[in-house]
Amino acid sequence: MPQMNRDQRNAAWQAAHQWRARAAQSRPTGVMGSVKLLLTWLAFGALMIVGMVLGLIFLLIGWAMMPFVRHKMKKRMEQMRAEQAQDIGGGYASQRHASSQNQASHGHRPHQDVLEGSYEVKDEPRH
């Protein structure tokens, strides 16, 4: 079987041949086709330039806003730390009362409290 016949029956070869024929038909011919091609490239280039300028502007705006956002986040973290801080001088009961009020105001579930009592560690019997 000759090589040419086998390739002509191949679906991929036929699709490539049809694509090549369509590409040859769509090539600009004459002055009008060249003008269209030139205008298409100019429009594409202009859109690329506009896109890059807009991207650069948004990048610079983002960089300019970073110190303000950082300051705002820093203030928010300080406020959260102040809300979670406990009174050092108070006893266990005052801390427990303050933390339960703090959690109730923020809608958190209360922590499970530690069981109070006296504990004794016994030595293991020696054998």
User: What's the mean pLDDT when you consider all of the chain?
Assistant: 78
Longest dimension (CA), the chain: 109
Global confidence as pTM: 0.42
pLDDT tier at 111, thresholds 50, 70, 90: low
Model pLDDT for residues 40-96, shown as the tens digit of each residue: 999 999 999 999 999 999 999 999 999 999 999 999 999 988 888 765 555 455 555
Q: Cα dihedral sign for 29, 31, 32, 34? A: positive
The C-alpha atoms of residue 87 and residue 94 are separated, in whole angstroms, by: 8
